[in-house]
Amino acid sequence: MTKLSNALFNRLVIAIPYIWLIIFFMVPFFIVLRISFSQTAIAMPPYLPVFSLSDGWQGFWDNIGQLSFDNYIWLTEDALYINAYISSLTIAFISTCLTLLIGYPIAYGMARAPTSIRPTLLMLVILPFWTSFLIRVYAWIAILKPEGFLNQFLQAIGIIDDPLIILNTNIAVYIGIVYSYLPFMVLPLYSTLEKMDESLIEAAGDLGCPPLKAFWTITFPLSLPGVIAGFLLVFIPTVGEFVIPDLLGGSSTLMIGKTLWTEFNANRDWPVSAAVAIILLLVLVIPIAIFQNAQAKAAQQ
Amino acid sequence: MRKTLKISALSAALLAGVASASMAEDKVVNVYNWSDYIDESILEDFTKETGIKVVYDVFDSNEILETKMLAGGSGYDVVVPTADFLQRQIQAGAFEKLDKSKLPNISNMWDKILERTAQFGDVNDYGIDYMWGTTGIGYNVDKVAEILGPDVKPDWNVVFDPEMIAKFKDCGVHFLDAPTEIVPAALNYLGLDPNSTDKADLEKAAELLKSIRPSIRKFHSSEYINALANGDICLAVGWSGDVLQARDRAAEADAGVKVDYSIPAGGALMWFDMMAIPKDAPHKEEAYAFLNYIMKPEVIAKASNYVFYANGNKASQEFIDKEVLDDPAIYPPPATMEKLYVHLPLDPKTQRILTREWTSIVTGQ
């Protein structure tokens, strides 16, 4: 009896994440997917056809017949959308690389710090989350603007005469993204680096391997899972980032988040914006799925 | 002993609270208005007079409101979209046609405003004007005096003449990121109909905007409030209410920044925030009572005195503070009034063309 209830309990525990994903990921995904095949209309909701239980089977099939790929074809007809995707991917890639470059030494330093102060260091990395993300981005406006703290400081110590124009440029967007997403890079890196067996480095040193070479042949390859996890955790949300480019970037910063906003709110075209969102999802999910697959195969071998 | 007394007193109070809440349950009105847009004592007075409790919620963009209205089932009884948004939402079937017999105070409304809102199809059958304002130029008084000379109120040529606006480039110029606000202003400046959908006219407006684009630091529909108040920019083409808010914030901060608002002499776009009742509102009777209460001259005057906006209620003007009524940035003089125009919503296809043209102006793509 207890065995049976245990098995039932185990299944229930496994079911919870699946139920969660179905309710909060699959269902919304299919709603968006279905809107992306509709046509825009001045109505409530603002697209056609609308499925309703009262239509019966015949109505259901009629509605299915009205769905089309028109919105996806539309996205290929204007270079704007492709440019926005490419520009988003580029900005996300550059800022993720910068985050890795800054995050790695931080995580390395933390993992090699005395055990007694590691919790404090970890706390310091997490601490910024205690203040609202939006407020921290606004704070960067005050720092980067022409009469802001950074320019005042640089002028006071005599490095520059005229203020640097950083706010409302892509540089400000990179600073904002690197700052906001740094913890997402540092934490997975730290957890892999911390678990690493230090005696491997000692052994390499004993056998005459210079420290730099030991780093590239031992430490870095062993930390790769952390690098990949951090990279994905930063890259994926950055591609669709809306707030940081909106507040810190200039008006000429073209990103897919803004394009989606314009489709939804200026053109009031829910179907086209749904199509933009679906394509964005595919652009992100397909390479990751291929990558995961390759990794799984490598692990098996 | 004292402690137990306190606790029992507290639980008694809680019970009383629950009881009164459940008693008043059927007398509620859910109001969804713009943020910082009412003197909250009006809501308390309304409850005192009618016994209807007001559940007050706020939004800060027409887009958010529109999404909720079109998705349906918002649960709100009174909402406040801008007239062009309201017209489109009426076409979508989101609103209740007002039964004017339940709104006796509607006789207080201002004919001059009704004439203009009547241009938005049948919005007067579905909504009443709450506040109205203009889209004009906010400016840093000292910096503009430095460049243009003292006591000059910027007109459209300051932002639309490429040589003029170039003088303000380093000082900072923001424009609203809204084609339906800026393109009509450009058309009006060129002497064309601000509501024109003619391709040649729109191209001329786009050409004008591209010629001044290098001097514009940013297109954004809210950042200019802080930027003006902090003295980070000199000029902003923006909404009257936002600029006046920047003016107040600058005055409060007292850091030597003076902001003012100019309704350009060449004419400006006029907008109207309309109170309306969604078709699926759960408390329609209470919503009518609220609308009727808001149209009382003393009540709406109190709101105007608090938020510094002009309202659409003629009878309220005798109750409005002199500093509000005589401020040409809020209640423009009759000659300026004549030059104000409205912009009607575009059909989806024209809207799409305009948005695309706007993206190419703003991003160069």
| Cα separations in angstroms, A262 against A81, A84, A258, A273, B130 | 12, 12, 6, 8, 28
Q: What is the mean pLDDT of residues B107-133?
A: 96
Q: Which domains does chain A have, with CATH numbers?
A: 79-300 (1.10.3720.10)
Give the residue on B whose Cα is nearest the Cα of A269: B348
Give the residue on A whose Cα is nearest the Cα of B222: A247
Least CB-CB distance to A251: which of B69, B219, B355?
A: B219
Do the Cβ atoms of B351 and A266 come within 8 Å? yes
Do the Cβ atoms of B355 and A247 come within 8 Å? no
Q: Could you tell me if B226 and B242 are in contact, meaning their C-beta atoms sit under 8 angstroms apart?
A: no
Q: Which domains does chain B have, with CATH numbers?
A: 28-133+271-339 (3.40.190.10), 134-269+344-363 (3.40.190.10)
- Closest by alpha carbon to B274, among B65, B120, B85, B83? B83
For A:148-177, CB contacts with B below 8 A are: 168
Q: Could you tell me if B76 and B57 are in contact, meaning their C-beta atoms sit under 8 angstroms apart?
A: yes
pLDDT at position B7 is 42
Do the Cβ atoms of B218 and A262 come within 8 Å? no
Which residues of chain A neighbour B69 with C-beta distances below 8 Å?
44
- The helix (run of H) or strand (run of E) holding residue B28 is strand B28-34
Summarised one tens digit per residue, pLDDT across range B214-257 is 999 999 998 999 999 999 999 999 999 899 989 999 999 999 99
Q: Could you tell me if A25 and A258 are in contact, meaning their C-beta atoms sit under 8 angstroms apart?
A: no
Residue located via tokens 């056998």:
A207
A265 — contact with chain B (CB < 8 Å)?
yes
Which residues of chain A neighbour B351 with C-beta distances below 8 Å?
266-268
A40 — contact with chain B (CB < 8 Å)?
yes
- Closest by alpha carbon to A176, among A234, A105, A122, A114? A234
Summarised one tens digit per residue, pLDDT across range A135-184 is 999 999 999 998 899 999 999 998 888 888 899 999 999 999 999 999 99
Q: What SS3 class is residue B24? A: coil
pLDDT at position B17 is 43
User: What single letter denotes the amino acid at residue B295?
Assistant: M
Burial (CB count within 10 angstroms: exposed 0-12, middle 13-18, buried 19+), residue A294: exposed
Instruction: Give how far B212 is from chain A: nearest CA, Å.
Output: 14
- Closest by alpha carbon to A71, among A63, A81, A59, A62? A81
pLDDT at position A294 is 82
DSSP A131-161: S-HHHHHHHHHHHHSTTSHHHHHHHHTTS-S
- A 10 A CB-CB count for A146 gives 20
Summarised one tens digit per residue, pLDDT across range B17-69 is 444 444 445 689 999 999 889 999 999 999 999 999 999 999 988 999 999 99
Summarised one tens digit per residue, pLDDT across range A120-145 is 999 999 999 899 999 999 999 999 99
pTM listed for this prediction: 0.85
